[in-house]
Amino acid sequence: MSENNILEEIKDFIFQEFKTKLSAEFVYHNYNHTLDVVKAAKEIGKGENISEKDLEIVTIAAWFHDIGHVNSYKDHEEESKKIAKEFLENKNYPKEAIEKVLGCINATKIPQSPKNLLEQILCDADLFHFGNADCFEKSDLLRAEWEILDVQKFSDIAWLENTLDFLKSHRFCTDYAFEKLNGTKAENLLKLKEKLRKAKAKKSEITEKKKAKKEAEKKKEERENIPEKGIETMFRVQLRNHIKLSDIADTKANILLSVNAIILSLMLSQLAPKLDKHSNAYLIAPTLIFLFSSLLTMIFAILSTKPKITSGTFNKDDIKKKKVNILFFGNFHKMPLSDFEWGINSIMKDKDYLYGALTKDLYFLGKVLDKKYRLLRITYTIFMIGIIFSVMTFIVAFYTIDTPMLKNY
């Protein structure tokens, strides 16, 4: 069988196998790659001045070296050897030559392990693109194929590092390939290092941007967690109303205190000296009742305005556990400034804590108002009853006492 006939039959066979059996997911290990390897094997073989017979063996091995992918991605070299052996035996190709073809195919398995010149030629042809300008294009195709087939996935930097390590460890076996391709390969190595440097710089830049974006989002979230305007308005209005009511209660209590203080002063200075006279005996009972009611009124008025201050001995742990309302001065007046500032910053960052503190502040202010107004109500009642009883006692005493003035009247 002539060289042209066997090679043409092999070419047609390989083409049909790839066309009908190979998945479209193989974007690197396909017919185009096989053509490139065949072309490179012929070029290197001629550059090494091997015989026509040996060139035919290398060319056949180049055609068959990746055909095993039609059956299996893993250990495709073994599948390629089976397909090549079966085809060549059916064509009555010499057994010794078949063994050389199978040896060449087996040598392309990564890591490459060529044992003779023919195997070296095919190994260099399989990685011929390392010394060409399309090195990175072919590398990207291989990466895409691995990802599509879920063989292995890499980040950009990991892929560049993996390729760089492979290029550093790779050596062209034949003199021809080394002489022709090693210079361009060295250039590709430098370009790859530059790509890796830029990729790392870009990653660092992206990381910084993500960090800045995350911080901005965190600040935005913190701003969004601040109580909304409507809620702020509600708390502001309610607290203001409560404070106004407290002011009103204090004003009423102060009025009673002032009035009764004047009454006591007048009674003690003007009326009391006259009670020792027998003719004024009828004034003793109403005066004492009025004095007692005025004194009691003043006591309750003072109680309604009497302030209450808590211990103010809370600490950071109490704030962390949300046991204390730090917004009330009675809870923080004994705290160090640094702890108070820390507590305020903490409550501003915690929406629930802030709402809770304002709610508690509003609630306890309401409790204080309740106490004030209850005491104030008692105060006014005492004052009113005291006046009524004093006047009634005075009238009764005035009309029942036995005096010459009343008899003449």
Query: Which CATH number is 36's domain given?
Result: 1.10.3210.10
Does a structural domain hold residue 58? Answer: yes
User: Do both 117 and 254 map to the same domain?
Assistant: no
In a domain, 49, yes or no: yes
163 and 301 inside one domain: no
Place of tokens 């004093």: 390
Domain of 191 in residue numbering reads as 3-210
- Per-residue pLDDT reduced to its tens digit, 276-313: 565 566 666 777 777 777 778 778 778 777 766 665 56
Give residue 300's pLDDT: 78
What's the total number of domains in the chain? 2
User: Angle between the 76-90 and 52-64 helix axes, to the nearest 10 degrees?
Assistant: 130
pLDDT for 350 = 64
pLDDT tens sequence across 50-59 = 999 999 999 9
Within this chain, do residues 24 and 155 fall inside the same structural domain, yes or no? yes
Q: Specify if 144 maps to a domain.
A: yes
In a domain, 14, yes or no: yes
Calculate the dihedral angle through the C-alpha atoms of 272, 276, 277, 282, rounding to the nearest 10 degrees: 70
Q: Are residues 253 and 203 in the same domain?
A: no
Residues 243 and 147 in one domain: no
Per-residue model confidence as pLDDT tens digits over 317-344: 666 666 566 566 555 666 667 666 766 6
- In this predicted structure, what is the pLDDT of residue 407? 44
What is the rounded average pLDDT for all residues in the chain?
82
Residue 255 has a pLDDT of 82
pLDDT at site 409: 39
pTM attached to this predicted model: 0.55
Domain endpoint, select from 210, 240, 259: 210
- How far is residue 305 CA from its own chain's centroid? 51
First-last CA distance in the chain: 168
Same domain for 116 and 51:
yes
Does residue 222 lie in a domain region?
A: no
Question: In one letter, which amino acid is 12?
Answer: D
Tell me, yes or no, whether 242 and 97 share the same domain.
no
In a domain, 111, yes or no: yes
Alpha-carbon span 38 to 59, nearest angstrom = 6
Do residues 150 and 201 share a domain? yes
pLDDT (tens digit per residue) in 211-256: 888 888 877 776 665 556 667 677 677 777 777 777 787 787 788 7
Looking at the structure, tell me whether residues 133 and 257 fall in a common domain. no
CA distance readout (Å), 362 to 154, 242, 244, 285, 365: 59, 8, 13, 47, 5
Residues 331 and 186 in one domain: no
Domain final position from 159, 178, 210:
210
Domain boundary among 179, 210, 241: 210
Q: Is residue 201 in some structural domain? A: yes
Residue 48 included in any domain: yes
Angle among Cα 291, 292, 297 to the nearest 5 degrees reads 100
Q: Which two tokens stand for residue 256?
A: 């009673």
* 122 and 182 housed in the same domain: yes
pLDDT in the model for residue 375? 80
Digit-by-digit pLDDT tens for the chain (409 residues) are: 344 589 999 999 999 999 999 999 999 999 999 999 999 999 999 999 999 999 999 999 999 999 999 999 888 999 999 999 999 999 999 999 999 999 999 999 998 989 999 999 999 999 999 999 999 999 999 999 999 998 889 999 999 999 999 999 999 999 999 999 999 999 999 999 999 999 999 888 888 888 888 888 877 776 665 556 667 677 677 777 777 777 787 787 788 777 777 877 776 666 666 665 655 666 667 777 777 777 787 787 787 777 666 655 666 666 666 656 656 655 566 666 766 676 667 666 666 666 676 777 777 777 777 778 888 888 888 878 877 877 787 777 767 765 544 444 3
Shared domain for 180 and 299, answered yes or no, is no
